[in-house]
Amino acid sequence: MTQPARIAMLGGTFDPVHIGHLRSAVELRDALGLDTVHMMPAPQPPLRDAPQVSPRQRLALLQMAIGDTPGLQADARELEREGPSYSVDTLRSLRQEYGESARLVMAIGWDAFLRLDQWREPERLFAFAHLVVIARPGHAEPPSASLRELLGQREVDSVSDIMAAPYGNLLHVTLPSAMAISATQIRQWISEGKSVRYLLTEAVENTILREGLYQRW
Ligand code: ATP
């Protein structure tokens, strides 16, 4: 009998995509035995003074960074949708694409996890997907009472436990190369003329510098 597909969505602003994102995606793929990790840029970056890099440019940098990496895919579906983008709608669309027996995972870093209870109808995520939370160095704040209440008894201890069902469980993972890299720090350093070498793929760094992106951030 063929195994159900194992699919993850890793959403974010990717402003710009850095090796913390890329290593997380590859190591998540390997840790969970995933067929595909959909790396999904969100349309709106968080409010900033002078957004100068468009969603299409963020997507192009992401595509460039992924290249032909097996199992990683830049997915533009949130950029193609009209109006605000909610993860639950994206997960519904992935569920429709892969069918009801697929193991569908929404992967988020610890910082994003802490804000989960402020999302729109967060409990509905669990009707479509599992939640996998990736530990992130420098982010150790504990979950709030309301977040703990939202999560209830969903937490499981192992990959085989989470993959026993198509959706509905929570797993915390610490990936081997956990890296204290953030896009905020990268934008800051570029705007100050400091080097970001090795924090980005070479092609992404070259494109950013050549096109003058993030230099007025
Ligand atoms: P910013 O600094 O602009 O907030 P970011 O570096 O946190 O950006 P996002 O695009 O917001 O990047 O992140 C997308 C997802 O990847 C989030 O779930 C985030 O928690 C996770 N993530 C980002 N950087 C890392 C990292 N170094 N290690 C693990 N997870 C990460």
- Asked if the structure places residue 42 within a domain, the reply is yes
- Asked if the structure places residue 217 within a domain, the reply is no
Residue 31 sits in a domain of what CATH number? 3.40.50.620
Domain count, the chain: 1
- Stretch 112-118: mean pLDDT, rounded? 93
Note the pLDDT tens digit of each residue in 47-71: 555 457 999 999 999 999 999 999 9
C-alpha distance from residue 71 to each of 38, 41, 68, 124, 163 (Å): 9, 17, 9, 27, 18
pLDDT band at residue 138 under the 50/70/90 scheme: confident
Percent of all residues in the chain with a pLDDT value above 90, rounded to a whole number: 84
- Asked if the structure places residue 216 within a domain, the reply is no
- Stretch 163-180: mean pLDDT, rounded? 96
ipTM over 0.90: yes
Dist. CA 155 → ligand 1 center (Å): 22
- Asked if the structure places residue 91 within a domain, the reply is yes
Dist. CA 213 → ligand 1 center (Å): 19
pLDDT (0 to 100) of residue 50: 44
Looking up tokens 């436990």, which residue turns up? 161
Q: What is the DSSP string of 186-210?
A: HHHHHHTT---TTTS-HHHHHHHHH
Domain hosting 130: range is 6-211
Question: What is the DSSP code (8-state) at residue 47?
Answer: P
User: For ligand 1, what atom is nearest to the CA of residue 182?
Assistant: 6
- Asked if the structure places residue 38 within a domain, the reply is yes
Sign, Cα dihedral of 136, 141, 144, 149: positive
- Asked if the structure places residue 1 within a domain, the reply is no
